[in-house]
Amino acid sequence: MIRYLAKRALTYVFMIFLTTTAGYFLAVNTLQPALLEQERIPRPTPEQVANSFRLKGLDPDLSPWERYVEWLTAIVTRWDWGRSPNGAFINAEFGDRVWISTRLFLASIVLTLIIGVALGVYTAARQYRASDRVITSYSYLVYIVPAPIAYFLVQLGAININETVGERIFFVTGISTPGLDGGGWAQFVDMLAHYAVPTFAITIVGWGTYQIAQRQYLLDNVNADFVRTARAKGLTRNQAISRHALRVSFIPVAQSIAFTIPAIFAGGFFAEKIFAWHGVGSWSIDAIALQDVNAATATLAYGSVIFAIGAILADFATTLVDPRVRVQ
Amino acid sequence: MTNLSTIDPAAVAGEAKIENSDVVITKSSIILRRFLRNKTAVVGLVIFLALTLFSFVGGLFTSWDKETIDPFNIGMPPSAEHLLGTSQAGIDLYALTVEGTRISILIGLVVGLVSVLIAAVYGCTMAYFGGKVDKVMLFILEALIMMPALLVVAVATSGGGNGLQKSLPSWLLLIIVLLVFSWMGTARLIRSLSMSLMTRDFVKAAQYMGIPPRRIVWRHLVPNIGSLLVLDITRGITGAILAEVAFSFIGIGIKVPDVSLGVLIGQATSQVSTFPWMFWVPLTVMFLLTGSLAMMNDGLRDAFDPSSSSVGRARRSDPGKRKSGKTPTTAGKKTT
């Protein structure tokens, strides 16, 4: 199994290299930071602009290929992802922002998965009862709402709650109150007040897909022969479902996780923009607006790495629950 | 190869004869009848068609257009003169909504149809040839899945001074980028389904009879994954409309002066409490659009599914029974 996973990991490393390279060339050819510099006051001469970019390793006079080689050598030899046009170092900024993004999404992703799968099992066991109909139609409703609009509506709702209560319970933007004094307890309450709205919004929009998938795959297996055999041997319906049907039906769901983690990352752009958490997602949008080649490529590489991690986790989960893969 | 040409016309004629006889109902009418039996799906279709019609002829019912500014009514709520009120710039919201709906439907239809077509060709090719071809094509596909589409959309629609953005309208650019990044999931699914079909006896038999690949794919693979293809068209349309709204909402994607539902919603978000109609009107239209597509999904899947229980009765050439009995729909089936 370890060998199988290692082989997969190697393939993904190669893929990350390819997508990042493609992304770099796309960015180098379309993004032109020199044009933005011209809008500064006092307006710098083209020589000044070129000189300042040359010092930051962003020489616009070199061909894309030369810049690519220079950029790649810096990463391979010194793990240096370059600098932004304003002089900031990508590595330093990246560290901060990854931490913010991780804090924003980790809780939501875990909650989304657990709630989605649990509700899927619950509704499959109670097919066509009122609870099943309500939950499943909710999931289909979420499916037709674009993520940013759902986040926005949740934000509006939180603002309304704050207004009706007359005091600020939830913070709808930002990550923490700047300059907050007080002990650990005050800090903790402040953190909860900032986390509650984004986590709630991402979770209630996210679990619909898992619920639908888990319900359908479980329903396909509930009446399979091996479940009937288990029932004939004396297991209760719930035991038969949880020990036999659930295991098989979780395999496709586990695989779909690989492809929804980048989707959550993509949804992350919207969540970070709307809730004003300055993580990797909003950085990548800003980087493109500021014509920042290195930052855009770094965020793209990060997206690919997240995808690869999700895919490897899915492979790992599949080998855990599916004995057929282990045999192969 | 010589006997191929002699077999084909005979087979075609034979099938045509069966299809035209009275006993067996033709495939298209089975599909149509099964679709019409699902009332939710029909309502969805009616709403979708009505919206499409509205987006083309709706502009005739108002004297305002999407560019004329009414300087006396800036940011006014709905009134007799402006049915749905005006925007912050003083442009009639009704005219803007008609225009935005048209662009959104256009993006949805083009992306939904073409991406499923690409996915079907790509997926079937992978499954049919297998081996090295499959490996290389799967690698390309996964590499494309890996690229965060949103970054590419942002670069393509907001990048600096290259000529592409200037020569193409932003909605066309968005269609192209969405197309490039929307077909991979479907192609993967089609590949795995077609691969399991390839091992089935009827495909093997067709291969041993010397029927050319193109015909096998068309006759045996496509009908069996047809329900999936149709479903993915409606899903693709929904996905493209939602993606356009999402991208335009945060300010990438469609750019002003082009109008779309996403642009209208995005522009209104900053002042929802002061100008609520600007936010809720385009949002309602978007919900009608995506909601009607979602309502059609189940009916379409059932209509095109060859393993649907309805087909079993029709193929037994027992039209009386088919008409009288309500065929049980396969409700718990997975949508694949």
- Chain A CB contacts of B152 under 8 Å are 26
pLDDT at A266: 57
pLDDT at B328: 42
pLDDT at B327: 41
Please tell me the distance from the alpha carbon of residue B271 to that of residue B269, in angstroms, as a whole number: 6
Residue type at A229 in one-letter notation: T
Give the predicted TM-score (pTM) of the model.
Answer: 0.78
- Chain B CB contacts of A284 under 8 Å are 148, 150-151, 154
pLDDT at B301: 76
pLDDT at B107: 92
- Four-CA torsion A188, A189, A193, A199, nearest 10 degrees: 40
Please tell me the distance from the alpha carbon of residue A222 to that of residue A226, in angstroms, as a whole number: 9
- pLDDT over 90 for what percent of chain B? 11
Please tell me the distance from the alpha carbon of residue B39 to that of residue B81, in angstroms, as a whole number: 38
Is the CB of residue B102 less than 8 Å from the CB of residue B56?
yes
Measure B73 CA to nearest chain A CA, in Å: 27
Which position has the higher pLDDT, B278 or B21? B278
pLDDT at A134: 92
* Contact between B146 and A303 using a beta-carbon 8 Å cutoff: yes
Measure A291 CA to nearest chain B CA, in Å: 7
| Over residues A116-125, mean pLDDT | 90
* Contact between A15 and B146 using a beta-carbon 8 Å cutoff: yes
Q: What is the largest CA-CA distance in chain A?
A: 85
pLDDT at B158: 63
In this structure, of A15-29, B33-47, B264-278, the range with the lowest mean pLDDT score is B264-278
Mutate to test the interface with B, among A7, A20, A21, A30 (most CBs of B within 10 A): A30
- Chain B CB contacts of A27 under 8 Å are 155
Phi, psi of B25 (to 5 degrees): -80, 140
Sign of CA dihedral B195, B196, B202, B207: positive
Which position has the higher pLDDT, B210 or B226? B210
Chain-centroid distance, C-alpha A294: 21
pLDDT at B165: 56
For B250, nearest residue in chain A (alpha carbons) = A270
Task: Kindly report the number of other CB atoms within 10 A of residue A9's CB atom.
Answer: 15
**Given pLDDT bands bounded at 50, 70 and 90, which one contains residue B47?**
very high
- In this complex, the residue of B150, B283, B287 whose CB is nearest that of residue A269 is B150
For the stretch B57-74, pLDDT in tens is 887 777 777 777 777 777
Which position has the higher pLDDT, A168 or B22? A168
* Contact between A35 and B238 using a beta-carbon 8 Å cutoff: no
- Judged by DSSP in three states, B86 sits in strand
Please, how many CA atoms are within 13 Å of residue B265, restricted to the half-sphere of its CB? 30
Instruction: Compute the mean pLDDT over every residue in chain A, rounded to the nearest whole number.
Output: 83
Q: Note every long-range contact of A220-224, with CB atoms under 8 Å and residues 24 or more positions apart, other chains counting.
A: A220/A249, A220/B332, A220/B333, A220/B334, A221/A245, A221/A248, A221/A249, A222/A124, A222/A125, A224/A248
Sign of CA dihedral A146, A151, A155, A161: positive
* Contact between B155 and A217 using a beta-carbon 8 Å cutoff: no
For the stretch B103-140, pLDDT in tens is 999 999 999 999 998 998 898 888 888 788 888 998 88
Q: Note every long-range contact of A236-242, with CB atoms under 8 Å and residues 24 or more positions apart, other chains counting.
A: A237/A125, A238/A125, A241/A121, A241/A124, A241/A125, A242/A121
Angle between helices B261-268 and B93-129 in degrees, nearest 10: 130
pLDDT at B312: 41
Q: Is A188 left (phi over 0), alpha (psi -120 to 50) or beta?
A: alpha
In this structure, of B28-32, B52-56, B307-311, the range with the lowest mean pLDDT score is B307-311
Instruction: Compute the mean pLDDT over every residue in chain B, rounded to the nearest whole number.
Output: 77
**DSSP 8-state code for residue B59:** G
- In this complex, the residue of B154, B290, B331 whose CB is nearest that of residue A285 is B154
Q: Which among A258, A260, A263, A269 is positioned nearest to A309, based on CA atoms? A: A258
| Over residues A191-217, mean pLDDT | 88
| Residue B142 in tokens | 């996964």
| Over residues A118-133, mean pLDDT | 89
- Chain A CB contacts of B180 under 8 Å are none
pLDDT at B111: 93
- Chain B CB contacts of A11 under 8 Å are 139
* Contact between B147 and A22 using a beta-carbon 8 Å cutoff: yes
Q: Does residue B50 have a pLDDT over 90?
A: yes
* Contact between A144 and B142 using a beta-carbon 8 Å cutoff: no
Q: Does residue A45 have a pLDDT over 90?
A: no
* Contact between A144 and B146 using a beta-carbon 8 Å cutoff: no
Q: Is A82 left (phi over 0), alpha (psi -120 to 50) or beta?
A: left
pLDDT at B20: 58
- Chain B CB contacts of A22 under 8 Å are 147
| Over residues B235-256, mean pLDDT | 84
Burial of A238 (0-12, 13-18, 19+ CB in 10 A): exposed
* Contact between A216 and B334 using a beta-carbon 8 Å cutoff: yes
Q: Does residue B80 have a pLDDT over 80?
A: no
For the stretch A266-316, pLDDT in tens is 567 788 888 888 888 888 888 877 888 888 888 888 888 888 888 887 777
pLDDT at B161: 47
- In this complex, the residue of B154, B162, B250 whose CB is nearest that of residue A148 is B250
pLDDT at B139: 87
Size of interface A-B (CB pairs under 8 A): 125
Q: Which among B193, B209, B203 is positioned nearest to B305, based on CA atoms? A: B193
**Given pLDDT bands bounded at 50, 70 and 90, which one contains residue A258?**
low
For B291, nearest residue in chain A (alpha carbons) = A144
Task: Kindly report the number of other CB atoms within 10 A of residue A321's CB atom.
Answer: 16
* Interface list for chain B against chain A, based on CB atoms closer than 8 Å: 139, 142-143, 145-152, 154-156, 158-162, 185, 238, 242-243, 245-246, 249-250, 252, 262, 265, 269, 272, 283, 286-287, 290-291, 293-294, 331-335
Is the CB of residue B295 less than 8 Å from the CB of residue B38?
no
